[in-house]
Amino acid sequence: MEIPIILVHTGDSFYLEPVLRQARTFNPDSHIYLISDASTIHYDYVEHVDISEYSALADKFKEVYVHMSINPYHYELFCFQRWFVILDFVKKHNIVHFLCIDSDVMLYCNVEDTFQKWLGYDMVTCLTVGPQYTLFHKESLEKFCSYILSHYTEENQFSEVKEWHKHRGISDMTFFLYYSKLPSVSIFDSATIVDKSCFDCSLKIPQGFEMQGRLKKIYWIHGLPYCKLLKTNELVRLNAFHLQGGVKHRLNRYIYQDLPFSKRMWKNICWFFNPLRIKSRWGELRKILSNRRMFFYFIRSRVFWRTFKF
């Protein structure tokens, strides 16, 4: 069963090229669809799809969406809308099974070989709430999108959202969490170690592995990433890892680590002074400084992580 890879991403971000190239390297024969805008049409080793042609369902969701997150409105809205964009796309192209990946993950596995054994599940997520690498069936995605939409259009279900909001900000991950608890839904957690390999939810999250500073410690063996389980000292292969948040700016440490010293040094300099990366960093800092809660979380994670346990 063919399992195409689908990414939804707008704008030519500084980390997008290595992410796409990495997905293609390990999946040379797979369909890789980049649903995006005109700024990314130059990536000729993936199949570029105009996002505007598949935005009808997403636009309808925008009309009922209520923002309840510390993240900016447009950022959080887009996180929701991508599932409606993908649903529109797979329905029009009659794609049955597919893997949706975030645009900040590095794949180190062949998707068809790895995910075939989980096709019987409604969806595959990471640590229940993580959509970094989400395997869907077309019908299961349609049910999930209906679940999201009904919680904004039906008063009794919207009251659930308001109740959830008392305990956390509302994001698409919130809906993955509560959807996974439905007795009619079967979900596999890709963070589970299977055949001595698993998927990384975030390099920031230990998952029982050895950490190096704030991130998982990576052991590179024959060009593949491994992490060490603290309980057993066993090395476990990461089928992919997630460069959540500001970790994206450290991607150069992983993609250039095998290069000769002089070439690696030059690549790192180019990476550091990449105008797209600098612009992105400045935008992130502005977002943090403009939001008190986000600024508090930032300081807590960057300054006090060694001293305090939260």
**Per residue, what are the HEC states of 156-182?**
HHHHHHHHHHCCCCCCHHHHHHHHHCC
The radius of gyration computed from the CA coordinates of the chain, to the nearest angstrom, equals 19
Residue 30: how many other CB atoms lie within 10 Å: 18
Q: Cα torsion for 250, 279, 51, 144, to the nearest 10°?
A: 50
Question: What was the pLDDT predicted at 307?
Answer: 38
What would the two tokens of residue 278 be? 């600098």
Same domain, 153 and 280: no
Separate counts of helices (H) and strands (E) for the chain: 11, 14
- Among 126, 160, 189, the domain-final residue is 189
For residues 99-118, one letter each, b for 16 or more C-beta atoms within 10 angstroms of the residue's C-beta and e for the rest, the string is: bbbbbbbbbbbbbbebbeeb
Question: What was the pLDDT predicted at 196?
Answer: 96
- Among 189, 223, 243, the domain-final residue is 189
Asked whether the beta carbons of 229 and 236 are under 8 A apart, the reply is: yes
Same domain, 110 and 256: no
Same domain, 227 and 165: no
In a domain, 273, yes or no: yes
> Treating both helix axes as pointing N-terminal to C-terminal, what angle do 73-92 and 56-64 enclose, rounded to 10 degrees?
140
Residue spans of the chain under pLDDT 50: 304-310
Query: Can you give the residue range of the structural domain that contains 242?
Result: 197-297
Question: What was the pLDDT predicted at 286?
Answer: 72
Question: What was the pLDDT predicted at 128?
Answer: 84
Query: CA-to-CA distance for 309 and 14, rounded, in angstroms?
Result: 33
Describe the strand order of the beta sheet including 123-126 as a list of residue ranges: 47-50, 32-36, 5-8, 97-101, 130-137, 123-126, 187-189
Q: What is the pTM of this model?
A: 0.91
Question: What was the pLDDT predicted at 293?
Answer: 61
Residue 273: how many other CB atoms lie within 10 Å: 9
In a domain, 280, yes or no: yes
Same domain, 19 and 146: yes
What lies within 8 Å, CB to CB, of 132 at 6+ separation is 101, 102, 105, 126, 199, 201, 202, 240, 242
In a domain, 214, yes or no: yes
Question: What was the pLDDT predicted at 295?
Answer: 56
Q: Which long-range contacts (CB under 8 A, 24 or more apart) does 300-305 make?
A: 301/214, 305/214
Tokens 């230990």 correspond to what residue?
A: 206
Asked whether the beta carbons of 125 and 187 are under 8 A apart, the reply is: yes
Amino acid making up residue 134: T
Same domain, 176 and 204: no
Question: What was the pLDDT predicted at 306?
Answer: 41
* Cβ neighbourhood burial of 218 (10 Å; 0-12, 13-18, 19+): buried
Tokens 């959540």 correspond to what residue?
A: 244
What would the two tokens of residue 167 be? 């305990």
Number of domains in the chain: 2
In a domain, 113, yes or no: yes
